[in-house]
Amino acid sequence: MPERNVVSWTAMINGYFKFGLDDEALSYFSQAIKDGIVPNSKTFVCLLNLCSRRLDFELGRQVHARVVKGNWRNLIVDSAVVYFYVQCGDLKSAFCVFDRMVERDVVSWTTMITACSQQGRCGEAFGMFTQMLNGGFLPNGFTASGVLKACGEEKGVEAWETNTWGYSEEDV
């Protein structure tokens, strides 16, 4: 291409990432930076997903720092940062980012609920689920799965069936 921009570079990085060619994706990112390309939110999300898959904690923290420094925070990027920390087992950092999110959606809530569930922190998982519902977010199948896993299926199903959280069947 005679002219390359952040969109073309990000497309190449994302393409390599999608085919599992992480080293090539990182190489393209490095070259883009050398060529003076300023990453955008889509570039950062791709890199964070790559770091999540590789469990590359150090690189992911560097990407997160660039996100904050460049003021690239938004719902999608913040959710990718939360997911990265969850995948790397750093629930404390995931909570820090989640708590600072200006905007949340069912995906970001579900990520945290599932993370708490996987870490055996069932009280927090149920508490977050309640906060999610109180915030007006409707659970989806992934949310239900995270809640059911929180303290074992039996207790999760019981809580779900007894409608502990006050939602109606029409809401779900």
For the chain, the average pLDDT equals 88
Q: Crossing angle for the helix pair 141-150 and 106-118, nearest 10 degrees?
A: 20
Whether 34 shows a pLDDT value over 80: the answer reads yes
pTM of this structure:
0.83
Q: What is the pLDDT of residues 127-164, one digit of tens each?
A: 899 999 999 999 998 998 888 877 665 555 555 555 55
- Domain boundaries, given as residue ranges, for the chain: 1-103, 105-172
- Determine the pLDDT at residue 172: 45
Q: What is the pLDDT of residues 64-110, one digit of tens each?
A: 999 999 999 999 999 999 999 999 999 999 999 999 999 999 999 99
Cβ burial 70-106 (10 Å sphere, 16+ → b, else e): eebbeebbbbbbbbbbbbbebbebbbebbeebeebeb
